[in-house]
């Protein structure tokens, strides 16, 4: 069974740029959630995708957007990057029968300069 994978592992961008992060869900999982974890904080929910549709969103501005593909993999896009967007971005997958039992990928560490 393949676990959750994310790419890239690290990324450095400058303010104003755009970034796309990628996630492949665990085999058999059809739901993907994205979280932002700032240094010293717990992860914060960004949004969740189920069957290619957004299935809930946390308190993040519209410049955070996402996609889910037919194979259940997902992308997180962030436009107009700000310094405060520097964080670890975590993707978590789950089965629709138990969406609150989520399994995390290793994350993408984004640094905005």
Partner 1 sequence: RKEVEQDPGPFNVPEGATVAFNCTYSNSASQSFFWYRQDCRKEPKLLMSVYSSGNEDGRFTAQLNRASQYISLLIRDSKLSDSATYLCVVNSGAGSYQLTFGKGTKLSVIP
Residue whose CB is less far from partner 1, 18 or 50: 50
Q: Which residues contact 48 (CB under 8 A, 6 or more apart)?
A: 31, 32, 33, 34, 54, 55, 56, 57, 99
Residue whose CB is less far from partner 1, 66 or 107: 107
Alpha-carbon dihedral angle through residues 33, 57, 9, 86, given to the nearest 10 degrees: -150
Contact set for partner 1, span 58-97 (CB under 8 A): 58, 90, 94
* Residue 44 in contact with partner 1, rule: CB under 8 A: yes
* Residue 2 in contact with partner 1, rule: CB under 8 A: no
Return the DSSP state at 26.
Answer: P
Distance from chain centroid for Cα 88 = 9
Q: How many residues bind partner 1 (CB under 8 A)?
A: 25
List residues binding partner 1 (CB under 8 A).
31, 33, 35, 40-45, 48, 50, 55-56, 58, 90, 94, 99-107
């Amino acid at each position: 069974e393949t676990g959750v994978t994310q790419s890239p592992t690290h990324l450095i961008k400058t303010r104003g740029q755009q970034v796309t992060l990628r996630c492949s869900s665990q085999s058999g999982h059809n739901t993907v959630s994205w979280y932002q974890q700032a240094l010293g904080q717990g992860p914060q929910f960004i949004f969740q995708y189920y069957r290619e549709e957004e299935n809930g969103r946390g308190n993040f501005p519209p410049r955070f957007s996402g996609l889910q593909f037919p194979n259940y993999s997902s992308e997180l896009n962030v436009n107009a990057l700000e310094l405060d967007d520097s964080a670890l971005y975590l993707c978590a997958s789950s089965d629709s029968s138990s969406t609150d039992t989520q399994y995390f990928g290793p994350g993408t560490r984004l640094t905005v300069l």
